[in-house]
Amino acid sequence: MSDFHTIDIRTATIDDLAAIFHLGEKVFTSQAVPNLYRTWDEYEVTTLFNGDSELLLVAETQGKVVGFAIGTTIEKARSAWNYGHLLWLGIDPEYARMGVGSRLFDRFREDVASKGVRMLLVDTQADNKAALEFFHDKGFENPTAHVYMTLNLQKDT
């Protein structure tokens, strides 16, 4: 395992996309995030990269991507506030609890703040204890429960 100090946080380039995608497959398994409204697939990565590639960050050590953060900014009608949404934060389990997520988040926060964002949003499964602890540690407040439901359109009514 690498020394913490050798981990570099930087904006992703197109050459990182495959590594990000494969690390996401490892981290965002259907068991770990069974009912996320967004699904992790290659289109998710490429679409977000095309949309706002400055908000796609990687943590790299010795040429290997060991974490990433992907977000976007949202302008709401009739609101003076610009919002940032951290959509995906994934750390290679071999590099967990080494502060990599924390460093990626801090950089993401700086980057969106420089774009005029005043409020950040994140969402995660209610039972994702690691993520809840992580975001709490980062100062997020007011966790609000949100219920997702499904309707099977193939079923006879």
Ligand X SMILES: CC(C)(COP(=O)(O)OP(=O)(O)OC[C@H]1O[C@@H](n2cnc3c(N)ncnc32)[C@H](O)[C@@H]1OP(=O)(O)O)[C@@H](O)C(=O)NCCC(=O)NCCS
Six-digit token string for 60: 């790299």
Our CA angle for 60, 73, 80, nearest 5°, is: 145
Output the smallest distance, CB 117 to ligand X, in A: 18
Closest residue to ligand X: CB criterion: 101
Output the smallest distance, CB 153 to ligand X, in A: 28
Q: Which residues bind ligand X (CB under 6 A)?
A: 27, 88-91, 96-102, 124, 128-131, 133-134, 137
In this complex, which beta carbon is closest to ligand X, that of residue 91 or of residue 120?
Answer: 91
Q: H-type helices in the chain, by residue range?
A: 17-27, 42-52, 100-114, 129-137
In this complex, which beta carbon is closest to ligand X, that of residue 144 or of residue 154?
Answer: 144
In this complex, which beta carbon is closest to ligand X, that of residue 2 or of residue 79?
Answer: 2
62: amino acid identity, one letter: Q
Q: Which residues of 104-125 are buried (b: 16+ CB within 10 A; e: fewer)?
A: bbebbbebbeeeebeebebbbe
Cα separation, 54 vs 74, whole angstroms: 14
Output the smallest distance, CB 26 to ligand X, in A: 9
In this complex, which beta carbon is closest to ligand X, that of residue 56 or of residue 91?
Answer: 91
Output the smallest distance, CB 86 to ligand X, in A: 7
